[in-house]
Structures are given as C-alpha cells and as structure tokens.
Amino acid sequence: MSNQASSRFPQLTIWLPAWVDSFLADPDTVYPTVQDRMNIAIGLARHNVKNGTGGPFGAAIFDMDTHKLIAPGVNLVVPTRWSGGHGEMVAYAIAQQILQSHDLGGTGMPRLELVTSTEPCSMCFGATPWSGIRRLVCGARDSDARAIGFDEGPKLEQWVQALESRGIEVVQDILRTEASEVLQAYASSGGIIYNGRKD
C-alpha cells in the first residue's frame, strides 16, 4: 500500500490505555485454565470502568496451545469517538497488528481464542469469522448486558451454531456471575449506556 495518507480527512488511531501494561503481568505468564483467562477479560472490563477509559467490556486473545496472552481489548467507544470500538473489535485489531495479518487463522499462525467478558453484539459476532480465531469464550450472556440497558443488536437467534458451523468453537457461561457483576456495578454507578438509535 502506498504510505501516502489523505490530508483532507482525519485518521482514527486505536490504542490501548497505559493502565493495561501495569494490569497485565509479565508477557510470559501462562493462564492454564479457561477461568484464568476469563479473569483477565473480566479484570480488563473492571479496570476500564475504574480508569474512566470506556465501557464495562473487556476481551483478550490467547494462544490456545501455550495459554499465553497475545492481545487485550477494552471498550473504547466513547473516548475514541468510534462506535466500532467494542472490546472484541479492539482485541482483534491489536492482535492483527502484533501478528501482522488480517487473518489470525492463516498459515503459520498459532491457534487463537478470544475470551470476552460478555457475549458479542451483532457487530462483534459478524466480525468474528473474519478475524481468524478458532474459539470464542464468553462470560456474561447477552441477556445480562440487555438487563442493564445495553443493546446487543439484531443477532441471529442461532448465532452460536452459525459460528460453530464455520469451525469456531463457542464456550459460554465461564465465570458468568463475576462477569455480570461488572455490568451491574457499572449500571448502579450511573455509567453511560450508549445505544443505537431506536426512534
């Protein structure tokens, strides 16, 4: 690609907040169980709210064989002024920069999973087959997000089956209670619930 950028239109830079570096342990840390990995996603969601850097959603991509973290993601919608800045989308984008390919499932890639503190919305669901991940691990249900007023969008009722039919394993309800508590704490504290237009 030509490295010449438009001078007429602005750019959008997606970057993780600095607190992520101190929240995460040494890059060589191994997270052997799915609960260990979900604790990272939930911790990212919790710290994102605490640090005022976005909504109560966290995600992380792990190597399915080494169980090391590849890339975290947090919701950045309001601070980046980008409606696409959901935790899952950010994790995909950052992992793709690290591994230098738009296809995390391509030849020579490690087998990767996305662990997300809440089940994906309609956009993040649709983005998942393009990402190249092999497994999607979810904490809170989309009904838990809806219960505090977040809109998960017009999703296929059979979204789990739709991913599995494309070779993406879906694991649900990992630390669902703990993941839901982050959502409930956010709502109780008066956090912004941004949604699509409905009028």
Residues 12-31 interacting with a copy of itself (rule: CB under 8 A): 12-21, 24, 27
Which of 43, 56, 58, 85 forms a contact with a copy of itself (CB under 8 A)? 85
Q: Does 40 contact a copy of itself by CB under 8 A?
A: no
Q: Tell me: does residue 190 bind a copy of itself (CB under 8 A).
A: no
Q: Give me the least distance between CB of 177 and a copy of itself, in Å please.
A: 27
**Is residue 49 involved in binding a copy of itself (CB under 8 A)?**
no
Strands 58-63 and 112-118 come out as: antiparallel
Q: By CB under 8 A, tell whether 118 contacts a copy of itself.
A: no
CB of 135 to a copy of itself, least distance (A): 12
Contacts of residue 81, defined as CB under 8 A and 6 or more positions apart, other chains included, come to none
Span of 31-39, 58-66, 165-173, 181-189 interacting with a copy of itself by CB under 8 A: 165-173
43 binds a copy of itself (CB under 8 A): no
Binding residue for a copy of itself (CB under 8 A) from 33, 167, 172, 173? 167
Q: Does 82 bind a copy of itself (CB under 8 A)?
A: yes
Shortest gap between Cβ of 193 and a copy of itself (angstroms)? Answer: 12
Tokens of 1: 């690609």
DSSP reduced 3-state for 21: helix
59 binds a copy of itself (CB under 8 A): no
Residues in the chain: 199
Q: Which of 34, 36, 63, 80 binds a copy of itself (CB under 8 A)?
A: 80
Query: Cβ atoms within 10 A of the Cβ of 183, count?
Result: 26
Q: Smallest distance, Å, CB 152 to a copy of itself?
A: 9
Grouping H, G, I as helix, E, B as strand and the rest as coil, residue 52 is coil
DSSP of 64-95:
TTT-BEEEEEE--HHHHT-TT--HHHHHHHHH
DSSP assignment of 153-182 equals -S--TTHHHHHHTTT-EEE--TTHHHHHHH
194 binds a copy of itself (CB under 8 A): yes
DSSP letter assigned to residue 35: H
